[in-house]
């Protein structure tokens, strides 16, 4: 009856399989088909190159502000690779590569980053939610989706993405708690990229890991090397299987790094050092995966060059296509669509107002 230690049984582990040099831990190596490995490699390269192209477009003023993903390819791809197509993905805003894997077109990404609502209409992905800008707010949607799937007796799971910063939001807490209480089939996938704009992970929370936050909810949590796609894939697969089997949610913390600006409006030199960045470059997730695949004889220099070439061609085609598409777009009156299923009378009247203004301006323009 005296002072006693409380035994917290939730297991919190850390997992790493493929190290920064590309050396694999054979005992832990997940079983993945050659095709899947190669597809993932290609997706990671596509993610990186597309990122670079978007940066260039932004610098040229051809798209608006956007959040690059460089450095986080393994976290994203390892995670979504564990999902079935009919599972749900509930992204934040920095999961471009994963969204593309799930079927979002590059054109849609370009348009979205250029302030065009039409982005949502190009190859709309079925079970991927749109990008969610308010940090942390999307996780609850995954809980509702997971709950609904179980209610429908469908064995789909929902995986939601968020950053280290997002773990500070009240909604993170409410989502984790609801998911655990309802044992909803949800995977909470944290990309701990060490920064929330200028706020380092150490100032975001005092807990040693993000994974241990699972303890607060009686939920399993695991920390993985987020630049190690094999570790991410293994942990995500385990979490997906747990959820699908009705054994509830899991928190997966992927320890990774944002190698680029927060968004193109950001200047990281204000808050972090070049050395830190250099240190992380040595842990590049694509590099080590490439080494691994070369050692497995799945990749050769030539094959790599072929993939690079194909990826760049795909991106170029998408950019051309998107820019063509944008030329045909731009009816301002469409802003009145989709506010409601049916347009209320008062809104229709406002639409008429703008239509009249545009007509008059057009006439003036034509006349003048």
Q: Crossing angle of helices 285-295/73-80, nearest 10°? A: 60
Cα–Cα separations (whole angstroms), residue 302 to 148, 298, 306, 307: 47, 11, 6, 9
By CB under 6 A, tell whether 213 contacts ligand TPP. Answer: no
- Site for a second copy (CB under 8 A): which residue of 41, 88, 101, 172? 172
Distance, in Å, from the CA atom of 262 to the CA atom of 272, rounded to the nearest integer, reads: 12
Cα dist from 257 to 139, 234, 280, 326, whole Å: 21, 20, 7, 33
Residue 94 binds which entry of ligand TPP, Mg ion, another protein, none, with Cβ cut-offs from 5 to 8 Å by kind? ligand TPP
56 binds another protein (CB under 8 A): no
The whole-angstrom separation of Cα 255 and Cα 137 is 21
By DSSP bridging, strand 186-192 and strand 221-225 are unpaired
Piece of the chain touching another protein by CB under 8 A; list 131-139, 224-232, 278-286, 301-309 = 131-139
* Chain centre distance of CA 112: 15
Nearest to 289 by CA among 102, 85, 77: 77
Q: Which of residues 2-21 bind ligand TPP (CB under 6 A)?
A: none
Q: Which does 195 bind (CB under 5 to 8 A by kind): ligand TPP, a second copy, another protein, none?
A: ligand TPP
Quick check: 206 and 262 in contact, CB under 8 A?
A: no
Site for ligand TPP in 158-197 (CB under 6 A): 162-166, 193, 195-197
Residues 185-204 that bind a second copy (CB under 8 A): 203-204
312 binds, among ligand TPP, another protein, a second copy, none (CB under 5 to 8 A by kind): none
User: Interaction with ligand TPP in 236-275: which residues (CB under 6 A)?
Assistant: 258, 262
The reply to whether 91 sits near ligand TPP by the rule CB under 6 A is no
Please give the structure tokens belonging to residue 232.
């991410």
| Contacting positions for ligand TPP (CB under 6 A) | 94, 133-135, 162-166, 193, 195-197, 258, 262
Interface residues with a second copy (CB under 8 A) are: 1-6, 8-9, 11-16, 19, 25, 27-28, 168-174, 177, 180-181, 183, 203-209, 211-213, 215-219, 223
């Amino acid at each position: 009856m005296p002072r006693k230690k409380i035994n917290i049984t939730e297991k919190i582990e850390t997992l790493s399989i493929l190290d920064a040099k590309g050396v694999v831990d054979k005992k832990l190596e997940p079983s993945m088909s050659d095709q899947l490995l190669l597809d993932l490699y290609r997706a990671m390269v596509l993610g990186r190159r597309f990122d670079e192209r978007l940066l260039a477009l932004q610098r040229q003023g051809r798209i608006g502000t956007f959040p690059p993903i460089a450095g986080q390819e393994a976290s994203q791809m390892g995670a979504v690779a564990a999902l079935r197509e009919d599972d749900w993905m509930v992204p934040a805003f920095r999961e471009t590569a994963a969204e593309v894997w799930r079927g979002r077109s590059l054109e849609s990404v370009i348009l979205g980053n250029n302030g065009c609502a039409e982005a949502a209409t190009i190859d709309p992905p079925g079970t991927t939610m749109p990008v969610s800008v308010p940090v942390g707010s999307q996780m609850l949607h995954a809980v509702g989706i997971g709950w609904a799937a179980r209610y429908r007796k469908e064995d789909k799971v929902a995986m939601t993405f968020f950053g280290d910063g997002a773990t500070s939001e009240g909604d993170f807490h409410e989502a984790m708690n609801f998911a655990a209480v309802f044992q909803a089939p949800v995977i909470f996938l944290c990309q701990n990229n060490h920064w929330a704009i200028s706020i380092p992970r150490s100032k975001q929370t005092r807990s040693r890991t993000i994974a241990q936050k699972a303890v607060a909810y009686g939920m399993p949590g695991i920390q993985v090397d987020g630049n190690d796609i094999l570790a991410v894939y293994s942990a995500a697969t385990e979490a997906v299987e747990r959820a699908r089997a009705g054994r509830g949610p899991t928190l997966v913390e992927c320890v990774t790094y944002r190698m680029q600006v927060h968004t193109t409006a950001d200047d990281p030199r204000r808050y972090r050092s070049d050395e830190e960045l250099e240190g992380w470059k040595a842990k590049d997730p694509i590099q080590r995966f490439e080494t691994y695949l070369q050692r497995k004889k799945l990749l050769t220099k030539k094959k790599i060059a072929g993939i690079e070439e194909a990826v760049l061609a795909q991106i170029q085609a998408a950019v051309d296509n998107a820019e063509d598409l944008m030329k045909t777009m731009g009816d301002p009156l469409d802003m009145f669509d989709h506010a409601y299923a049916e347009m209320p009378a008062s809104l229709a009247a406002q639409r008429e107002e703008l239509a009249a203004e545009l007509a008059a301006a057009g006439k003036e323009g034509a006349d003048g």
